Structure formats: C-alpha cells, structure tokens
Amino acid sequence: MTGHPAEEADENINYDAGKIKILEGLEAVRKRPGMYIGDTFDRGYHHLVYEVLDNSVDEALAGHCDKIDITIHVDGSVTVEDNGRGIPVGIHPEEGVSSVQVVMTKLHAGGKFEKDVYKVSGGLHGVGVSVVNALSEWLKVEVCQNGKRHFMEFRRGEPLGPLKVIGETDKTGTKVTFYPDHTIFTEVKGFNYDTIVHRVRELAFLNAGLKITVSDERSGKSKEFFFEGGIKSFVEHVNKAKSPLFPEPIYFSGEKDNLSLEVALQYNKEYQENVFTYANNINTTEGGTHLAGFKAALTRTINNYANKNDLLRNGESISGDDAREGLCAVISIKIPEPQFEGQTKTKLGNHEVKGFVETIVGENLSRFLEENPPLAKAIVNKALEAARAREAARKARELVRRKGALDSAALPGKLADCQNENPEESEIFLVEGDSAGGSAKQARDKANQAVLPLKGKILNVEKARFDRMLAFEEIRTIITALGTGIGSEDFDINKLRYHKVIIMTDADVDGSHIRTLLLTFFYRQMQELVARGHLYIAQPPLYRVKRGKVEQYIKDEEEFADLIVSGGTAGVRLESADGKITDSGNLKQQVLMLQLIPSLLNVFHKERKDARVIRELAALLLDRKQEIFQDRQALEGIKEELVNNLSGKAVGEIQAEIKQKDTFYRLVVETRLKGAERKTEFGREQFLRAEFRKLADILKGAEKLGKPPFKLKEVDGEKELSLCNSYEELVSEIDRLGRKGLSISRYKGLGEMNPEQLWETTMDPSKRRLLQVNIEDALESDSVFSILMGDEVEPRRRFIEENALNTKYLDI
C-alpha cells in the first residue's frame, strides 16, 4: 500500500520474538468473557473474528500486508488468513517457548505494545488473539515464515503440542482457524455473513489498497472489497442513494509528529448530517477531539469564505449545524497512543488531536474553496438555506410552544397516560388508528402503560425540512407525549417520559408503511432514543388456533407451520417404496424443510425461469461440485437426464443446449409454461446461489425418507392413512391431517381483537413479544432509509429488485 506515510514500513525494525511483550495471563477470560469481548451473545461472538482480523489489518497499517481472506466454514469455524510477515516463530527470551505460543496463550501479548514495531494499531484496548483462543473450543494457527510452514493447535486455550514445521513455502503470513466454544456462547447459532461483511467493507474503505475477501462456504456467498479511493470511495458509497451537490468528494490528508489524518467530504441535497469518525480503524461513534477539531474548522472556514466574498445578507450567520446540513464526511486519524474514554473505544480523548485536525482541515478546505469558486458558492448557499430554515423552524417552534403544543405540561388530549411517573417503569404504545387505540386503552395496565392513538400516516421526514415537520399535528403529538423536545438545541434524552416506546401497527401493507414512517422519524430526529434501546416494535399474533375449548395464539407463519406439521405427524410413521421407515419426529423435521421448496422455486419463477427445470436440476446436481461447469462432458450427461426426466412429466417440448463463456459452461433450457416461453439459463453462478444451495440441501436431507410412493401409517398399528406419490403429495397430506379439528383465524388488524385478546397477546409484559430496534450498522441503516424513503427513484427501484425476496431489509 502506498500514499499514506503512517502506513509505510521501516525496514530497520525487526518484528521478532524479542519484540513480543507480555502483560498478564489468561486465567480470568473463560470465567468472565464479557469483561474481554463485551458479551457472550452475537456481538461478542463476532468480536472474536474482529480481534483476529485487527491483527492482520495492523500488519497492513505497518505496510507488510495487502491481502486478507476470511472464510466461514460449513462446520461453523472461521479462518482469517493474511500475507503479512507472520507471527514470530522464534523462542521467546522470557518464556522459553515459541512466540506463537506466547501470543496465543498470554493476554495482552503482542508486538503492538512495542511502539517501534507498530507505529499505529487498532487494538490497544483490544485483548488480542489470546482471548479468541481462550474462548474457542479449538484453534489452529499456521505461520509461513523464512521458507517454512509452522503449525500449532490449541483446545480451549491450551496447546496440544509445541509449534512444529509441517512443510516448505515461498509465502509469508498468518492463518488462524477457530471454532468458538458453545459452552460459553450458548445462545448463538453461528456467524452472520452480513455482519462480518459490514465490518470488512468499513476496514477496506479505511485502508486504501487493502484487499479483503469474505467467503461463506455454507451458502456459497463471497465478496471482495478493494478500494483504491479509500475513504473517498466511502463517501461515494454513503451518497450513492442521494443527490450530491458536486460530483467528486473533496479529499485531503496531512501528518505531523506521528499523527496522520485523512478527510473526505461531499454535500448532498438532503437535510441529514452523516459524519463518520475513526481512530486507528476504530469507529468512534461518540466522536471526540478529532470530530471537535473538524467541526470547528469547517464552520470557521465556510463563514470566513462567505464573509470574504460578501455572500451573507445583513445579520446572517452560519452555525455549525447549518454548515453540516446535507454533509457526508469521513474522518480517519492514525495515532500512536490513542486515549479512548472507557473500554468501548467510542470517543477519542487525545487533546493534541483537536488542534492538529483543525489546522489540517482549515488549511486544505480554505484552499479548495478559493480554487473552486462555483463549488464554494454552492456549499455556502446550502449552508445559508439551512440557516434560513433553522430560523423558520425556530419561529415555528416558538409558535407551537406559545400554543402549548410542545409543552409536556399540556399533554395531548388523546393520550391515555399512565399513573407511574418513573420513566424506567413506564411504557407508551403508539397505536395505529382510533379503533385499535380504543381497544388498547381498555386493555392496558393503567399503572405503567400509556397509549397514544395515531391518525393515519405521519409525514415522511426524510423528504421534509424541520419547520414543515413541526407543522404536522401527529408528529407534534408524539414529541409532546415523549417529553424530550426536538431538534439539536432542544432534544434532551434525559427528559424521556417512557423508557419503552412501542410501535404497534397492523400486520398489513398500511401498517408496515406507518411503522416504517415512524422508524424513519425516530432514526432521523431522535436517533439517541433508538441508540439507547428505548424503541420497540410490538409483535401481535398472526393467527388464533382453537381446538375444542383450548385456544392459542401464533406469532408468525413459521410458528404456524410448526404447529400444523406437528399435528399432522403426531402418531404416524412413514414407509417408503424401498423399505425405509421414518418415525414421527424425523418426519416432522423433513416435512418442515420440504414445505420451503415452493417459496425457493418462486424466487426463480419471478426471474422468468422455469421452476420445474430448477427443481429437476437440484435433484440431478445433489452430489456435484461447481467444477462440473468446467466439464462439458459431465454437463452433457446432466442435460440428457434433465430432458428425459422432464419429458416424462408432461412438460411439453424442451430444447436444451450447452453454451460456453470464458472457461465455464452453462445449460440453456427452453420450455413453455401456460403457453408462455421460458428460457432458463443455469451455470456456476446459479449453482452457487443461496436459494439453490438451500433447495439442494432440502432434497439431500429428504433422501433419508426413501423413495416414493410413501405410505403414512398409524405408529401403533398397520392401518394405512394415506398413500403419497411424491414429496409434494406428502407435504399436502401432512398439512391436511394437521388442520383436522382446528378452527383457524387469521388476524388482519389490531382492531379485530377485543381488549382482553389484545392484552393477552400483545400488551401483557409476561406473555408478549417485543422486537427491540437497534442501530447495529449506522452506515447501512442510513443507506436503507435514504433509498426507501428519499427522493431518488432509481436507487429505490434497484434496491427493491435486489431485495424483493429478502424481507430482512423491509421488515425493519
């Protein structure tokens, strides 16, 4: 990597066994893991990957590494491999064992504690790879160094043997593979590909020229991140769904006394400020001295330019908020000894940083404005528009204050408040419509539950200025009820009257829209309320199921399917044509999986592919690997089987051929479906798609049932209940049996429930389910809100096309 002086390596400095410093042992890690990685849930689980990854990035910062590969394996383990210098393999002078063993078994053992080895490191408060080792069921490390491959293995932090040479190599680097200990992470199912991708994308942006790949062997997904533009590319990524004020982000850098700074910024035509700050690759979400220096320099520089060029009217001034409206900026500082406030690394405290950043930003931004008058004028005009809107908002706020509309002493009339005045014990339901609001008011526990019915859809604040937002009655009602005030000058989270703010809407399209509008309002105007974990979404049931006098409520389709299949498979066994017998429990598991096939095939159907072709290919390619798409002869065999199998299923005329692109072959199959032509192209990319892999996995698992036709029999006798000629018939029959004797009601809205039902299912703290809204990834959260709720049509169209089948994004 080049272009960043702080990252260049000093060839005279050796990274060897003697440079590893040891601070303490690992005894407490397994007893109190939360002290070292934050928690033992998803966040801490993924932190294990980041600890290993940070070591590789430190090598990149020192100029010795430009490639990192992360692989999530099928068994749930993870590998992080880099092409750096490799952990020193020599004998440690103090410990008498290899430095690899020291690094892996001693807390805070690492070269980053020697300033002359790593000038900059992201892991000062980080506890290092030894904690990953301590919290893993097993860990394997491979070091390529001095022409040899060295290997060492550990179990729960304990070495299984000394470091040994296992071969020769011309490479250098470190490869760590580990499997987290699930006796510690008892509630975590596994690594989330998207969570790791988010962090990796961030690191690739912050380290120009560093290539990082993430591969998931479970799904076949893989992404490579490499940004020559570094944080300039970062800004372009954030602004991709917005309308930039000028085409190219402004970029500058500087250094002094071992401090180095990079800044990239670009304005857009929206109203939100997005400033991302980093210190040594660590996201300082609470800012700190680098952010303070940037803000001061930005405001002063824009005001100076505006005054110098007579762009201000009488009495006008540009505040810091005005100067940052519509701004997207990334500030990345590299510092030898960062001082973070607290263990969370979310606020930089080094006092020398503020003046350094202020000087660099002031000098470079002033030069840019002087050299680019049209852009400078556009930036100043944008800030002046914000200043005028701020003044209009102030007048609007004063006007509504005079009317008492924002005064929490004059609470809205339709608010049914609770009796308890302790915010920590109080909650408020924001309910869609007067009908559901009336039921909720009757159902609630008046002691600590407040209800605020909302009329219709609130304003989309993504597209509105502050003064227009305040003119909207329902928004003013929410602000008043919560008591926090609104706007950067007035908002005070400590005045929040309820520590649980619960959005309760119908499970239909309108309800989803209202929920999304409310989420947009809270994310854009009361983000601290969301960040502190005060915002929740109620989870009313989707079904009521009654058998005789016994009734139960079902939260979603997944739970409903489980109930029906459990009923349909209870007391039965399955016999296949080839003599396999499946008991009730295993039959249930297979049927639950087989039920997913139609929805998986529908993904391909919506892409105008023939689902029948995809279904048949999944069966034919069960035991094949992706290399088959480089073997024409093998693919010819698949083609012939496909045509023969489909011909016997009354599909009609079939045309199939093999085409080549680069070194890969693909099948092209033409069929007719309900009179319409269908052209299904299927190659390596389709084979590796998550939907196809899932489909193949389901069919592979179903082989345990044996071959059709299947006989369903009573478990205690020979009475035959049904004969099923295919998986599809089997699923249908189990569904029929499962529904016998049930009265099933599907709720379309909250208003359909009486107060007793609403209390029992949605409001009773001992029984209800609440979904807490968190900001796990600020960058992606901002992007999704901008795309879905902003003015730009093309990014929204593209997003919906790409994610129409991925409700994770839409059911926020």
Q: Quick: pLDDT tens for 323-334.
A: 999 999 999 999
Integer Cα distance of 55 and 172 in angstroms: 15
What mean pLDDT do residues 389-416 have? 68
User: Does the pLDDT of residue 536 top 60, yes or no?
Assistant: yes
pLDDT band at 811 (very low <50, low <70, confident <90, very high): very low
Q: What are the chain's domains?
A: 5-225 (3.30.565.10), 231-385 (3.30.230.10), 403-540+755-775 (3.40.50.670), 571-743 (no CATH)
pLDDT tens digits along 736-751: 999 999 999 888 778 7
Q: Which residues contact 212 (CB under 8 A, 6 or more apart)?
A: 67, 68, 69, 70, 200, 203, 204, 224, 225, 226
Task: Return the closest-CA partner of residue 455 out of 472, 434, 436, 438.
Answer: 434
Judge whether 467 and 396 are in contact, CB under 8 Å: yes
Task: Return the closest-CA partner of residue 693 out of 610, 607, 603.
Answer: 603
Integer Cα distance of 22 and 37 in angstroms: 19
pLDDT tens digits along 247-296: 999 999 999 988 999 999 999 988 889 999 999 888 888 899 999 999 99
Measure the CA dihedral 2/3/6/10, to 10°: 40
* 777 a catalytic residue: no
Q: Taken in order 93, 96, 100, 102, is the CA torsion positive or negative?
A: negative
pLDDT tens digits along 479-530: 999 999 888 778 899 999 999 999 998 877 788 888 888 988 998 889 899 8
pLDDT tens digits along 657-704: 999 988 899 999 998 877 778 899 999 989 988 889 889 999 999 999
Q: Which residues contact 515 (CB under 8 A, 6 or more apart)?
A: 503, 505, 537, 812
Give me the chain's average pLDDT, please. Answer: 85
| pLDDT of the residue at 778 | 54
| pLDDT of the residue at 632 | 94
Instruction: Count CB atoms within 10 A of the CB of residue 118.
Output: 24
Crossing angle between the packed helical segments 690-702 and 611-620, to the nearest 10 degrees: 60
What is the phi/psi pair of residue 19, to 5°? -85, -10
User: Does the pLDDT of residue 351 top 90, yes or no?
Assistant: yes
pLDDT tens digits along 53-107: 988 998 888 889 999 999 999 889 999 999 999 999 988 887 788 889 988 988 7
Q: Which residue has the higher pLDDT, 342 or 426?
A: 426
Instruction: Count CB atoms within 10 A of the CB of residue 351.
Output: 8
pLDDT band at 812 (very low <50, low <70, confident <90, very high): very low
Residue tagged active-site, from 341, 352, 492, 508: 508
Kindly state the tokens that stand for 41: 């849930």
pLDDT tens digits along 199-239: 999 999 999 999 999 999 988 889 999 999 999 999 999 88
Integer Cα distance of 508 and 510 in angstroms: 6
The answer to whether the bond into 709 is cis (omega within 30° of 0) is: yes
Residue tagged active-site, from 95, 510, 641, 780: 510
Instruction: Count CB atoms within 10 A of the CB of residue 151.
Output: 16
Judge whether 22 and 99 are in contact, CB under 8 Å: no
Judge whether 108 and 28 are in contact, CB under 8 Å: no
pLDDT band at 365 (very low <50, low <70, confident <90, very high): very high
* 510 a catalytic residue: yes
Residue tagged active-site, from 59, 216, 358, 506: 506
Q: Which residues contact 178 (CB under 8 A, 6 or more apart)?
A: 48, 52, 77, 78, 132, 133, 136, 138, 139, 140
Kindly state the tokens that stand for 754: 């009486």
pLDDT band at 806 (very low <50, low <70, confident <90, very high): very low
Integer Cα distance of 331 and 353 in angstroms: 12
pLDDT tens digits along 698-708: 999 999 999 99
How far is residue 417 CA from its own chain's centroid? 36
* 59 a catalytic residue: no
CA distance from start to end of the chain: 39
pLDDT tens digits along 403-433: 554 555 557 778 999 999 999 999 999 998 8
Helix (H) or strand (E) holding 554: strand 550-554
Percent of the chain with pLDDT over 70: 87
Q: ∠357-360-363 over CA atoms, to 5°?
A: 140
Integer Cα distance of 352 and 680 in angstroms: 62
Integer Cα distance of 325 and 327 in angstroms: 5
pLDDT band at 776 (very low <50, low <70, confident <90, very high): low
Judge whether 113 and 161 are in contact, CB under 8 Å: no
Task: Return the closest-CA partner of residue 565 out of 606, 538, 539, 595.
Answer: 595
pLDDT band at 132 (very low <50, low <70, confident <90, very high): very high
Residue tagged active-site, from 81, 202, 417, 432: 432
Instruction: Count CB atoms within 10 A of the CB of residue 218.
Output: 18
Judge whether 268 and 245 are in contact, CB under 8 Å: yes
Integer Cα distance of 353 and 559 in angstroms: 54
Judge whether 587 and 573 are in contact, CB under 8 Å: yes
- Three-class secondary structure of residue 406 per DSSP: coil
Integer Cα distance of 182 and 45 in angstroms: 10
Q: What is the widest separation between alpha-carbon atoms in the chain? A: 96
What is the phi/psi pair of residue 778, to 5°? -60, -40
* 417 a catalytic residue: no
What mean pLDDT do residues 762-768 have? 91
Q: Which residues contact 685 (CB under 8 A, 6 or more apart)?
A: none
pLDDT tens digits along 157-201: 889 999 999 999 999 999 999 999 999 999 898 999 999 998 999
Q: Taken in order 26, 32, 34, 35, is the CA torsion positive or negative?
A: negative
Q: ∠88-94-98 over CA atoms, to 5°?
A: 35
| pLDDT of the residue at 367 | 97
What is the phi/psi pair of residue 218, to 5°? -70, -35
